[in-house]
Amino acid sequence: MDFLQRPWPWYVSGPLIALVMFALIYFGKTFGMSSNLRTLCTIGGAGKYSDFFRFDWKAQRWNLVVVFGAILGGYIAVNFLSDGTPIALAPDTITDLKTFGFTEAGMTLLPTEIYGWENVLSIKGMGILVLGGFLVGFGTRYAGGCTSGHAITGLSNLQLPSLIAVIGFFAGGLLMTHLLLPLIFG
């Protein structure tokens, strides 16, 4: 059972993600995580402010159950299926991150320099998380999907809109990583 505890290689993980997509297709649903953000807005009463949130959210309950399961899955993975192996990042990545002052790259899933409470509770640290989350939430709905809906499901279905969206994901990601992150952390 050792192999379950170690990090899983890409050629195991990728096919298993495809399996998640096919399971939901078989159940008559579509794999798409970002739809839940809209559902949560609707449950919170956002329909008072925009037609966009006036829909029958109960038809989306199944997706909220997937999300609840995903939270449980995260808990199970770190508490019962991990041996604490650091992430085998590329040596160049570790070197690049040192120039940002990130000293323990790969030792945990998330950098304490961004997600540690002492940084989160500073103005800059809070700004990073709020801006990052806001852009993801705004952009994903504007683009009509996220990594699961466009990159996995949409590309599997050979849809041109999803290809355009994924090109956008990369344009934005490259801009942030190469131009903006060095300004923020450099």
List the interface residues with other proteins, window 103-132 (CB under 8 A).
Answer: 105-106, 109-111, 114-117, 120, 126, 128-132
CA distance 186 to 183: 5
Binding mask 55-94 for other proteins (x = CB under 8 A): ------xxx-xxxxxxxxxxxxxx--xx----x-xx-xx-
> Distance between CA atoms of 54 and 37, rounded to whole angstroms?
14
Cα(123)–Cα(57) distance, rounded to whole angstroms? Answer: 35
C-beta of 149: minimal distance to other proteins in Å?
9
Cβ-contact 156, 20 below 8 angstroms: no
Please select the residue that binds other proteins; options are 103, 122, 180, 182, rule is CB under 8 A.
180
Spatial distance between the Cα atoms of 138 and 132, rounded to a whole number of angstroms: 10
Distance separating alpha carbons of residues 139 and 119, to the nearest angstrom: 25
Q: Does 185 bind other proteins (CB under 8 A)?
A: no
Indicate which single residue of 58, 99, 135, 182 sits in contact with other proteins (rule: CB under 8 A).
135
Site for other proteins in 146-165 (CB under 8 A): 146-148, 150-162, 164-165
101 in contact with other proteins (CB under 8 A): no
- For residues 151 and 139, give the distance between their C-alpha atoms in angstroms, rounded to a whole number: 14
Residue 2 C-beta: closest distance to other proteins, Å:
13
